[in-house]
Each structure stands twice: as C-alpha cells, then as structure tokens.
Amino acid sequence: MTKPYSARTPNHDLSGLWTGFYAYDLTDDAVPFTAWISEDDGTITGSVLEDDITSPESDGECTSEIIGERRGLDVRFTKIETAGPDGSLELLRYQGDTDPECCVISGVWFFDDPAESSGTFMMTRISGALKAAIQPAAASESQFGRNTED
C-alpha cells in the first residue's frame, strides 16, 4: 500500500526523474520534456529529453545536458543544447523555485541575449533517486520468487 503523500519521507534534494513542460512567452503551446537530475551538495547535473520542435520530422527528439545549483528553494541551471548541423552549442538559462519537499520546480527560462525568446517552465518529480525505483522491484521479485513451502 502506498503511503499518503504527507507520510512519505521528504526529499532533501532534487535527484530523480522529472516530467514537465516549457512554453514560449505570448503563446499557449507547451513543449513537454523528461529530465533526470542528480544533486550533490547543491550542485545539479543531468539530462533532458524533449520533442525536437525544430525538426521537420514529427517524431524527432533531442537531448540536452544540464548543470546548475540549488540554494535553499532557489534553483538555477543551464541547459546545453547542440544546435544546428555545425555542432554549435546553445545555452538556455533556467531560474525558478522549488517547493519545500523538492517535488515541483517552476520559473522562467531565457537566452543570454535579451532579444531572443524567453518563457516559463514547470516540472514535477516522477520519482526520487534510482534507489526508490529499484527497492520495490527487488522486494516483489523476492516475494514472488521465494519458495513458501518449508
């Protein structure tokens, strides 16, 4: 049985699997993404998988790396994308806040050049660190794989 939300152990960092969306200012179109984040003593690293909205193919995806930091509830990271066929890098800055349980992050994103696009983002934790996903699977394997006749 799953514990009620309030009875779960609080997360002390942002490590885990996240899902979210970002939107451009002045539009209602949201682009979904999935992110894997690892936090170590306030340093954030990870990767993002999202639809490639610049691709002529409708099922194109792209991956990006992220690096940043969390100080208290303040979250800042840079998404590093490979842009274009020349392999040049594009940097997008994200600034936001997390809730005290580190389960939701929301804020704004922007390029370094103020003339470029900007917008908002929101992401929600799907699961905690990998350990949280492995333990229930291992428990059910041992439960069903065990010989109960002694």
Structure tokens belonging to residue 67? 């690096």
pTM beyond 0.85: the answer is no
Tens of pLDDT, residue by residue over 15-70, are: 999 999 999 987 778 889 999 999 999 999 999 998 776 666 666 788 899 999 99
DSSP 99: -
List the one residue out of 45, 44, 33, 37 whose CA is nearest residue 16: 37
Q: Are strands 118-127 and 104-110 parallel, antiparallel or unpaired?
A: antiparallel
Q: Give how far the C-alpha of residue 92 lies from the chain's centroid of Cα atoms, to the nearest Å.
A: 15
- pLDDT the model gives residue 120: 96
More confident of the two residues 89 and 85:
89
Average pLDDT over residues 91-105: 95
Q: Give how far the C-alpha of residue 130 lies from the chain's centroid of Cα atoms, to the nearest Å.
A: 14
Query: Rounded to whole angstroms, how far apart are CA atoms 37 and 44?
Result: 7
